[in-house]
Amino acid sequence: MSDPVPAPWQEEVFSALKGAGVRQVAWVPDAGHAHVIDRVLADPGLLGIPLTTEEEGVALACGAALGGDRAVLLMQSSGVGNCVNMLSVVSTCRFPFLALVTMRGEWEERNEWQEPMGRATRTVLEAMGVTVLRAEEPGAVAGVVREALVAAFEREEAVAVLLAQRLVGRKDWGDGK
């Protein structure tokens, strides 16, 4: 994964997760989450779980809650659509749930296939009973993530934090454009 020089907000996200007692972090590989993933993998106190699809992460978070652990799912907005059926388990069983979602289909997007789900992400999550918070600026990320951690793990709510595409930057496909 590895990002050579992480933005300060990325380290703040990791610190917030660790400080809130999160023990399991699951993800589908994503450059926007690379720093947090690398930090999780390097920390013997955390269990990092790579997934093949995002809905596995929803099930993992439910299982973690049943076992008394706190889990967080890291994914891109394009994966939110994959989670709809599993989010019904979160809603029906009232599991605490937290997803950190890097947005695609927004600012400087060069892959038009990302745009439909980018537009629908908030609506889909809210339709499934997930409270949606959004961070647009680097200085706001840590506070929004801490707010989401409290909502998920102290009030036992389902929450997703949308991390604006502008935060993670433009995807560079190596074609000079």
pLDDT at 166 (0 to 100): 86
The mean-pLDDT minimum among 83-92, 111-120, 130-139, 158-167 falls in: 111-120
Tell me how far CA of residue 170 lies from CA of 26, 46, 76, in angstroms. Answer: 24, 30, 14
Report the predicted TM-score, pTM, of the whole model to 2 decimal places.
0.91
Torsion of the alpha carbons at 148, 70, 7 and 38, rounded to the nearest 10:
-160
Q: How confident is the model at residue 171 (pLDDT cuts 50, 70, 90)?
A: low
pLDDT at 118 (0 to 100): 72
- Please write the tens of the pLDDT for every residue from 77-86: 999 999 999 9
CATH code at 8-168: 3.40.50.970
**Domain ranges across the chain:** 8-168
